[in-house]
C-alpha cells in the first residue's frame, strides 16, 4: 500500500505507458548519438583525412570517410546511396520506435537496450550523411598488416545492439524450449 491508500501496482499503472515501454531506453539512444557526434567532431577538428595515430599495437585512430554502408558497400556508386541509406536508416529508426513502444521496459532489457543502441547508431550515421554526404570513421583495428574496415561509435553501437537482439532471441528460444519440456512432463 502507498501513503495515498493505493497499491504499488496501481501507482505503476498510473505511470505513462511510454515510461513502462521500451521508450524508457530512449536516453541510451540519445547518449549514443551525442557521444558519436562529439567523437566525430573531435576527429574532424584534430585530424586531416587519412591522418593516423597508433594508440595500441592493434588499434589506430585514422580519419576516413565512408560514402557507402558497412564495409564501404556501394561507396563508389555515384552519390545516390547517400539518400538511399539515409531514407533506409530513417525508416528503420521509425520502425524501432514503434517496436520499442510495445516492449515491456523492465522484462525485456536485452531487446529494448539493443534496439536503443541500434537506433542511436543509425541516427548518428544519418546525421553524418545529411551534413557531409559520408560517414566519418576513425576506429581502425588491425592485426599486423590485416586491417578491419574502420568504424565509429555509431557503428559499434549498432553492432552491440545487434548482438543484444541475437542474445534476446536465443534466451527466448531457450525459455520456450524449457517451457515445452515442462509441459510434456
Q: For residue 84, give the C-alpha cell.
A: 538511399
155 is catalytic: yes
Task: Give the residues across from 57 on adjacent strands.
Answer: none
51 is catalytic: no
Cα 82 from Cα 178, distance rounded (Å):
46
User: Out of 128, 137, 168, 172, which one is annotated catalytic?
Assistant: 137
Cα 15 from Cα 53, distance rounded (Å):
49
User: Smallest Cα–Cα separation from 155: which of 83, 87, 85, 91?
Assistant: 85
User: Smallest Cα–Cα separation from 43: which of 21, 65, 67?
Assistant: 65
User: Out of 36, 155, 168, 172, which one is annotated catalytic?
Assistant: 155
CB count in 10 Å sphere of residue 53: 13
Catalytic residues: 137, 155
Amino acid at each position: 500500500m502507498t501513503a495515498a491508500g493505493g497499491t504499488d501496482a496501481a501507482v505503476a499503472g498510473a505511470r505513462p505507458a511510454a515510461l513502462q515501454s521500451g521508450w524508457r531506453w530512449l536516453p541510451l539512444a540519445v547518449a549514443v548519438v551525442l557521444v558519436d557526434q562529439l567523437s566525430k567532431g573531435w576527429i574532424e577538428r584534430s585530424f586531416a583525412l587519412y591522418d593516423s595515430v597508433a594508440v595500441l599495437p592493434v588499434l589506430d585512430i585514422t580519419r576516413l570517410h565512408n560514402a557507402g554502408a558497412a564495409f564501404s558497400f556501394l561507396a563508389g556508386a555515384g552519390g545516390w546511396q547517400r539518400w538511399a541509406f539515409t531514407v533506409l536508416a530513417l525508416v528503420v529508426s521509425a520502425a524501432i520506435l514503434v517496436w520499442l513502444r510495445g516492449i515491456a521496459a523492465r522484462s525485456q532489457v536485452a531487446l529494448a537496450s539493443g534496439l536503443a543502441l541500434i537506433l542511436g547508431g543509425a541516427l548518428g550515421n544519418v546525421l553524418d550523411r545529411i551534413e557531409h554526404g559520408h560517414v566519418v570513421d576513425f576506429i581502425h583495428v588491425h592485426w599486423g598488416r590485416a586491417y578491419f574496415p574502420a568504424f565509429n561509435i555509431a557503428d559499434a553501437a549498432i553492432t552491440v545492439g545487434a548482438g543484444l537482439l541475437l542474445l534476446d532471441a536465443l534466451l527466448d528460444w531457450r525459455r520456450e524450449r524449457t517451457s515445452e519440456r515442462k509441459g510434456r512432463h
